[in-house]
Structure 1
Amino acid sequence: MYSVLRLTGIRKIQKPSIELLPDEILYEIFRRLSGGQARSAAACVSNPWLTVLSNVRTSEMVQENDGFLTRCLEGKKATDRRLQSVVVGTSAPGGLGKLSVRGSNKVTKLGFTAIAHGCPSLKVLSLWNVPSIGDESLIEISKECHLLEKLDLSHCNSISNKAIVRCCLNLQSITINNCPNVGDQGVATLLSSLSSVLKKVKLQSLNITDFSLAVIGHYRKSITNLALIGLQTASQKGFWAMGSAKGLQSLTPLTVVSCYGITDLSLEAIAKGCGLLKQTFVKKCCFVSDKGLISFTEAAELLECLQLEECNRIS
């Protein structure tokens, strides 16, 4: 195929180039490439090729499932282009199973849309200090990555309640740490709407109140591992309600750190309401005294391990 240019009466023949093909044609070509090595080689040709390749859905490629791949991007290495390259490079059998992005402000919705479209096998997603990732990116992941089992969000200032409530229904583990725009609405809706597969929950440095703790106690019978850290806006009433609801019947390890709402009364209620509790770690809870500790150990009949740190009222 040749294209003819007419310049001031001079006829010039331009050599054929695959770059002249529209993206739609390139898409059809690239989705027929076999193996991650071939796709990675094609992605190195040019940025336009990389962009087209990263948007090829894995479901449209023929592949076998023989194991999942892991990728971790940190700092300057975490960019949209790197994420697009990850999509292309992990489209081999098994696909991307675990992705971690840490300490980057260069990752945007563009990169995460590529991950969502090209990595339906994603099971574990960890985001730490990624301020440029907001609700739209996380919602896109929830729409496409239905196998997601573990989600860790730490210091993600642009993620709000809107995204949290749209998380995948197959989550088994969720961590939300220091996300200032996530509050009671997001946490309570998430925990009350997810199916019974959710087993591990860690909530740290969030502006949640007694309402969220009450929801945990009422709806989360499936939780086996619970960590509550730095919840300064939750009071004794919330922790008491969490235990008194007697819904945490599967809970075995419990971690509570720097929570002013943990008092003698609430600690005893938790012990009575969590019949399978075996391991408890309490740190920097200044309102727990000898009286509460005695009541707790008497009520927690299956307790095997108790660790206390910096609880100054305990003698």
Structure 2
Amino acid sequence: MEGLRWEGLSTSGIETGAWILHISGAKMAMRKTSVEVHDSNCGLDVEGDQHHQHMMITVGEKRKLEDTRICLCHVPVDVLAHIFLQLTSFKDMAWASAVCRKWKEGVREALAFREKLSFAGWRADDVTVGGLVEGASKLLELDISLGRWGSRITDAGLHRIANSPCCPNLTSVSLWGVTGITDEGVVELVRMARSLEHLNVGGTFITDVSVLAIADHNHHLKVLNLWGCRHVTESGIVALARSCPKLTSINVWGMNISLTCELRLARLNPNLQLKPSQARNHVIRGTS
């Protein structure tokens, strides 16, 4: 499958059962047309609406479609799962699972094979995130960054992620700007996610409690983003340098890290770089 495009997707469009799979060569795309096809056998969760119990065709007689059309209600679940595996965002997957029972099953099967899942840009909550992550047993990268509509993720959501089957295998987690979480949830997550290599907790209100937990449990960590984490102190940063030998980069923008501390970090871990770097600026000023 070379391409998958979702055009003009909306809840109202999905509820009409009017989504058609268009196949042209090796490419697939889903787009809404003026043809509305629905069969009650697909298991659409709509009751008492006779509009959804028969076929309606409103396309002009003169128009001839060049593509082969297949109603997605009749596509096998394994094929649907392969299609949904190409979706990259929670929003698309959530909308797809709302079409009918067969689509919901296809999304469930697709989740079992996903290695990346992003909730960025969507206002997800603990129940939704927890449910999807629990079904994604092969997940490696998880992004729950703050979206334009805000985030409703709390420590309860992090606890569900920590207890999910995929958590020990996660290599990348982003909690950028999720202000509803505390040290309690972060500690539980990093305690279970021992394979982490990239962690983004920038824009949160974590303290040294979380940082010390990271130092204790995430010895494979390579990149850490602490952007704006003003409650994290130099002591926490030093503990990271001592316990995480693979750590090469820490974003400390907005934090109060002294030049003395940075020079100490360089002695503990010569490969570790702080961003921004006071030591680098000091060398530049000294040579100018």
Which amino acid in the other structure matches residue 208 of structure 2? D
Q: Which range is displaced more, 223-232 or 144-153?
A: 223-232
2: CA distance, partners of 1:263 / 1:113: 53
The 3 A distance-change label for structure 1 pair 49 and 269 is farther
Which of 120, 127, 132 is equivalent to 1:128? 120
Contact 1:199 1:224 in 2 (8 A): yes
Which of 128, 131, 150 is equivalent to 1:140? 131
Contact 2:108 2:135 in 1 (8 A): yes
Identity of paired residues, percent? 19
Residue 279 (structure 2) pairs with residue 255 (structure 1): no
Q: How many residues align?
A: 214
2: CA distance, partners of 1:214 / 1:242: 7
1: CA distance, partners of 2:128 / 2:39: 22
Please name the residue that 1:264 is paired with: 259
Q: How does 1:146-157 map to 2 (within 5 A)?
A: 146-155=137-146, 156-157=150-151
The 3 A distance-change label for structure 1 pair 135 and 47 is farther
Q: What SS does the aligned partner of 1:213 have?
A: helix
Which amino acid in the other structure matches residue 118 of structure 1? E
Which amino acid in the other structure matches residue 158 of structure 1? R
The 3 A distance-change label for structure 1 pair 237 and 251 is closer
The 3 A distance-change label for structure 1 pair 219 and 107 is same
Residue 180 (structure 2) pairs with residue 181 (structure 1): yes
Contact 1:215 1:242 in 2 (8 A): no
Which of 140, 155, 158 is equivalent to 2:152? 158
Deviation string, structure 1 residues 198-251 (Cα, Å, up to 9, x no partner): 2111111101111111112222111122222111222333323333xx111111
User: Gaps (5+ residues) in structure 1?
Assistant: 1-35, 54-83, 294-305
Q: What SS does the aligned partner of 1:99 have?
A: coil
* Larger strand fraction of residues: 1
Contact 1:247 1:273 in 2 (8 A): no
Which of 222, 247, 252 is equivalent to 2:220? 222
Contact 2:97 2:107 in 1 (8 A): no
RMSD (Å), alpha carbons: 4.2
Deviation string, structure 1 residues 33-84 (Cα, Å, up to 9, x no partner): xxx98x999xx6338666659xxxxxxxxxxxxxxxxxxxxxxxxxxxxxx9
Contact 2:81 2:109 in 1 (8 A): no
Please name the residue that 1:237 is paired with: 235
Please name the residue that 2:17 is paired with: none
Please name the residue that 2:108 is paired with: 117
1: CA distance, partners of 2:264 / 2:41: 60
Q: What SS does the aligned partner of 1:158 have?
A: coil
2: CA distance, partners of 1:273 / 1:51: 61
The 3 A distance-change label for structure 1 pair 115 and 204 is farther
The 3 A distance-change label for structure 1 pair 95 and 157 is closer
